[in-house]
C-alpha cells in the first residue's frame, strides 16, 4: 500500500447546529495513518513520512483491529502531567530515530492512537461510504486497548466546544454525517473550530543567557517568498534540556546575515541563523502590526520551512 495524503478540515469560527453534523474533540497530536495489507503494518504521518518504528505499540494490528486489510486514520497523542494531550510530549516520540531510544520512551512517554476514520477495508476503498457508516464500521472492527481508542462523536457541537474550552484543549472538529472522505483535500464538510491559536513558524534568530538560548526570533514566508519577522518567544513547553539541545542545533547554523526582510525586535543582542528549524507556536492573537501576541513555543517540527507561510496560517 502506498501512503497517501489524508483529508483535513477547513478552519471555521461558527459551529453548525444542524442535526446533519456531529462534533469530535480535536486531539493535539500527530496525524497518523495506519496501513495493513494483510501481512505488514506500516504507519505514515500526514506528510507521508514513515513513523512505523516510532510507535511500535501500534504495529501488532490484530490486537486492536479485526480487518483482513485496512487503512485507518487517527491522531497519536501523549498526555502531559495535567492529564491533557501534550504536543510537546508526543513530539518527543515522533522525533526519535534511534530504536533503543524508542524502546526507552515507550515507558516514559506512552501514547494513544485516537482513531476517527477508516478509508480502506478488506480490499475495498470505502471513502465514498457516508461518514456515519464508516464510524459504525470502526466500532465493529476496533477493540480499544491501552494504546488505541475510538474518537467519540457528539451531537451538540456547542456543548462539546464549551467543555473543550473549559479543559483548555485545542478545539473541535465538526463533520457532516453523510460526508465522503476526500483523500488529500481540505473540504468544508469537515470544519475545525479552535480554542487556541497556533502557527508553524521558522526560527531565524535567537538570544542567549549564560550560553543557552533563552528566546527565539520567528518568521513566516509571504507570497513573494520573503522571510518576515513575526515575533519572539522564550516561554512555552520546553524543558531546560530542550533549550540546551536547541542551542547546540542553532549554533551549527549560525550566520552573520540577517534572514528577515523587515525590522526585528531585540536585534542588538540577537544571533542570526539560517531559517532551517521549524516550531509549533501557540499565541493569543495577531496584532495590528502583524506580530504574534503572547507567543509560546510548544515543540520543534519535522516539516520544511517552505511550508511555514502566511497562507497556511
Contacts of 58 (CB under 8 A, 6+ apart): 32, 34, 41, 43, 76, 113, 147, 148
* Amino acid 192: pLDDT: 95
* Amino acid 313: pLDDT: 79
Q: What is the CATH classification number for the domain harbouring 49?
A: 3.30.470.30
Give which of 111, 119, 181 is closest to 149, Cα–Cα. 111
* Amino acid 312: pLDDT: 84
312 lies in some domain: no
Containing structural domain, residue 294: 197-307
Q: Are 221 and 140 contained in the same domain?
A: no
* Amino acid 221: pLDDT: 97
Q: Are 128 and 218 contained in the same domain?
A: no
Q: Are 246 and 178 contained in the same domain?
A: no
Q: How many domains does one find in the chain?
A: 2
2 lies in some domain: no
Q: Are 161 and 232 contained in the same domain?
A: no
Q: Are 155 and 278 contained in the same domain?
A: no
* Amino acid 12: pLDDT: 92
Per-residue pLDDT tens listing for the chain (313 residues): 899 999 999 999 899 988 999 999 999 999 999 999 999 999 999 999 999 999 999 999 999 999 999 999 999 999 988 888 999 899 989 988 888 899 999 989 999 999 999 999 999 999 999 999 999 999 999 999 999 999 999 999 999 999 999 988 889 999 999 999 999 999 999 999 988 889 999 999 999 999 999 999 999 999 999 999 999 999 998 999 999 999 999 999 999 999 999 989 767 789 999 999 999 999 988 998 899 999 999 999 999 999 999 988 7
Q: Are 236 and 251 contained in the same domain?
A: yes
* Amino acid 95: pLDDT: 86
What is the value of pTM for the model shown?
Answer: 0.83
Q: Are 261 and 225 contained in the same domain?
A: yes
Contacts 24+ apart (CB under 8 A), 268-271: 269/207, 269/208, 270/205, 270/206, 270/207, 270/217, 271/205, 271/206, 271/207, 271/208
| 69-106 core/surface letters (b: 16 or more CB in 10 A; e: else) | bbbbbbbbbbeeeeeebbbbbbbbbbebeeeeebeebe
Q: Do residues 211 and 265 lie in contact, with contact meaning Cβ atoms separated by under 8 Å?
A: no
* Amino acid 228: pLDDT: 97
Q: What is the CATH classification number for the domain harbouring 266?
A: 2.40.50.140
Choose one of 194, 223, 254: the last residue of a domain. Answer: 194
- DSSP track, 156-193: -HHHHHHHHHHTT--EEEEEETT----TT-EEEEEEEE
Amino acid at each position: 500500500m502506498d501512503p497517501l495524503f489524508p483529508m483535513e478540515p477547513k478552519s471555521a469560527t461558527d459551529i453548525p447546529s444542524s442535526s446533519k453534523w456531529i462534533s469530535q474533540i480535536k486531539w493535539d497530536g500527530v496525524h497518523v495513518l495506519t496501513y495493513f495489507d494483510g501481512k505488514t503494518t506500516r504507519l505514515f504521518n500526514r506528510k507521508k513520512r514513515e513513523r512505523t518504528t516510532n510507535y511500535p505499540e501500534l504495529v501488532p494490528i490484530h490486537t486492536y483491529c479485526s480487518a483482513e486489510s485496512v487503512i485507518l486514520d487517527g491522531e497519536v497523542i501523549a498526555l502531559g502531567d495535567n492529564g491533557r494531550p501534550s504536543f510537546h510530549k508526543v513530539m518527543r516520540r515522533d522525533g526519535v530515530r534511534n530504536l533503543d531510544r524508542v524502546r526507552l520512551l515507550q515507558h516514559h512517554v506512552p501514547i494513544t492512537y485516537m482513531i476517527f476514520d477508516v478509508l480502506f477495508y478488506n480490499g475495498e476503498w470505502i471513502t465514498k461510504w457516508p461518514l456515519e457508516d464508516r464510524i459504525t464500521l470502526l466500532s465493529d472492527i476496533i477493540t480499544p486497548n491501552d494504546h488505541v481508542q475510538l474518537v467519540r462523536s457528539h451531537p451538540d457541537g456547542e456543548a462539546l466546544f464549551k467543555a473543550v474550552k473549559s479543559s483548555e484543549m485545542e478545539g473541535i472538529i465538526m463533520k457532516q454525517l453523510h460526508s465522503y472522505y476526500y483523500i488529500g483535500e481540505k473540504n468544508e464538510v469537515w470544519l475545525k473550530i479552535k480554542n487556541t491559536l497556533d502557527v508553524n513558524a521558522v526560527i531565524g534568530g535567537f538570544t542567549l543567557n549564560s550560553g543557552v538560548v533563552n528566546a527565539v526570533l520567528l518568521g513566516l514566508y509571504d507570497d513573494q517568498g520573503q522571510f518576515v519577522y513575526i515575533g519572539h518567544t522564550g516561554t512555552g513547553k520546553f524543558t531546560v534540556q530542550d533549550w540546551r539541545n536547541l542551542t547546540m542545533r542553532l549554533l551549527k547554523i549560525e550566520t552573520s546575515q540577517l534572514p528577515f526582510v523587515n525590522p526585528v525586535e531585540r536585534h542588538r543582542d540577537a544571533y542570526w541563523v539560517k531559517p532551517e528549524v521549524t516550531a509549533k507556536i501557540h499565541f493569543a492573537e495577531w496584532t495590528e502590526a502583524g506580530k504574534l501576541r503572547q507567543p509560546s513555543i510548544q515543540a520543534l517540527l519535522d516539516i520544511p520551512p517552505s511550508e511555514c507561510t502566511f497562507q497556511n496560517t
